[in-house]
Structure 1
């Protein structure tokens, strides 16, 4: 081969100081160290440990960076209070609200000054009050004009109560709501004669579990029979001789309470603590036959079963008549 000729597998021409062809070979160690320090933002490590660019060996972040300062409790407190108020307002509007008992009309189930929690969520799903439930409802037609009112608080107490009632933690001082027990609903017939029990759809109620001691069911104001229209309620207090309920308002829509005026069902006595209890539905309202629709069901089923039987008998009779007529026509004549 001629001098200076190159083969097809030649390697790159090596420069002075590059004995093994690797980059940086032959470069002084001080220069490499300085270059590494400039590239990584810190001194080069010579003990074999990796160094993250722009950070310490343990990867804790940029050298000299201070941890983010935590916000003080006093700065976060207004935010927490604001969130709590919004949540309380939402709960009061859509879920549960507190109400105060202003009179003695529901003794001994409820005492004057008791705080009850009212379920406001269920009516949003179309559920209507049922017999035996204790419900809070808006004054239908100035019923409260005859009942005792809650005393008005002073200026300071009134301001605090307005704020707390706005978010549902206290009842409003200007509330125009009543609380009674539902006795009959739309479609029912209710009555009570002097000396007798309250009857719903002909079934006598056993009210000893909730009626005030020594009270009569209706001796002070007998009524009925009265048929309750759809969308209306008949309500009575548990302290019958101290309750101006549906019986005492015959000139005001016959004493009926519109279902649309019902705020919700009172389900628990929340205050005072020593009176904490659930407000359930007495068992007498679950007795067989008290439901007007259920009472009419056997007759409806009987009628529904009788119609096909009558039609079948008429069809069979018509078929028999047709057969006899055909037989007479085909008989030989004399």
Structure 2
């Protein structure tokens, strides 16, 4: 899930790994460890955590598979992430939202009423202050595709979102996407559950 113009970067949808994929991932994890007992314990822990996450997704939390590269390296193609439903969101949150019958993932840069500015080097300013973005990889900054007038004020009840790979991400910098209404946000991404070696909370 990521970008809309390219068919190769399709929207995320809830596609769980097959049993064969899970078994292969567990086998690969085991082969990387040196002690047999540790192998068995880690396998049980990871499998239990994965099963619990899947059950929670079915009954409580939405689950998404990532397509595309606009959120790399934070989210990679094929990652499966768990989201929470929340009515409030903050700068820096990773969110999934509906757009043109797709589910996209981006990062919240600014909230309702905030002023956003981006210089030619891709440095983002919110309300006149440079936004600290430790989640970006080296060289990820860039003005990218932008046809809005800067500085830009975020409308009420909407959020300004951007991908972590600024040069390829299609996001609120383009009028065709714009800011995301609160009611279109389907969840805050909080936990990566696949691949198993990268299981953990998202930032």
State the match for 1:232 in structure 2.
158
Is 1:128 matched with 2:88?
Answer: yes
State the match for 1:216 in structure 2.
141
Is 1:272 matched with 2:198?
Answer: no
SS of 1:242's equivalent in the other structure is coil
Q: Specify the structure having the higher radius of gyration (Cα).
A: 1
Gaps of 5+ in 2: 1-54
Residues 219 and 180 of structure 1, relative CA distance in 2, 3 Å threshold: closer
CA apart distance, 1:130: 1.1
Q: Which runs of 4+ in 1 moved over 4 A?
A: none
TM-score (normalizing by structure 1): 0.42
SS of 2:170's equivalent in the other structure is coil
Distance 2:76 2:57 in 1: 25
Distance 2:77 2:57 in 1: 25
The two structures, once aligned, show a CA RMSD in angstroms of 2.2
- Is this contact kept in 1: 2:145–2:170, CA < 8 A? no
Is 1:241 matched with 2:201?
Answer: no
Distance 1:205 1:230 in 2: 20
CA apart distance, 1:212: 3.4
Determine which structure has the larger strand proportion and give its number: 2
State the match for 1:97 in structure 2.
62
Among 187, 194, 202, the alignment partner of 2:128 is 202
Distance 2:136 2:182 in 1: 24
Residues 245 and 92 of structure 1, relative CA distance in 2, 3 Å threshold: same
SS of 1:260's equivalent in the other structure is helix
Is 1:260 matched with 2:176?
Answer: no
The correspondence of residues 29-44 of structure 1 with structure 2, limited to 5 A, is none
Distance 1:91 1:237 in 2: 24
CA apart distance, 1:251: 4.3
Distance 1:188 1:233 in 2: 9
- Is this contact kept in 1: 2:144–2:168, CA < 8 A? no
Distance 2:194 2:57 in 1: 18
CA apart distance, 1:197: 1.3
- Is this contact kept in 2: 1:192–1:198, CA < 8 A? yes
The Cα offsets for residues 86-109 of structure 1, whole Å up to 9 and x where unpaired, read as xx5x8535x212100011110000
Distance 2:98 2:193 in 1: 21
Is 1:178 matched with 2:144?
Answer: no
Distance 1:256 1:96 in 2: 24
TM-score (normalizing by structure 2): 0.67
SS of 1:240's equivalent in the other structure is coil
Structure with the bigger RCO (C-alpha within 8 Å, sep 6+) is 2
SS of 1:92's equivalent in the other structure is helix
- Is this contact kept in 2: 1:211–1:239, CA < 8 A? yes
- Is this contact kept in 2: 1:195–1:219, CA < 8 A? no
The correspondence of residues 103-122 of structure 1 with structure 2, limited to 5 A, is 103-120=68-85
Residues 137 and 196 of structure 1, relative CA distance in 2, 3 Å threshold: closer
SS of 2:62's equivalent in the other structure is strand
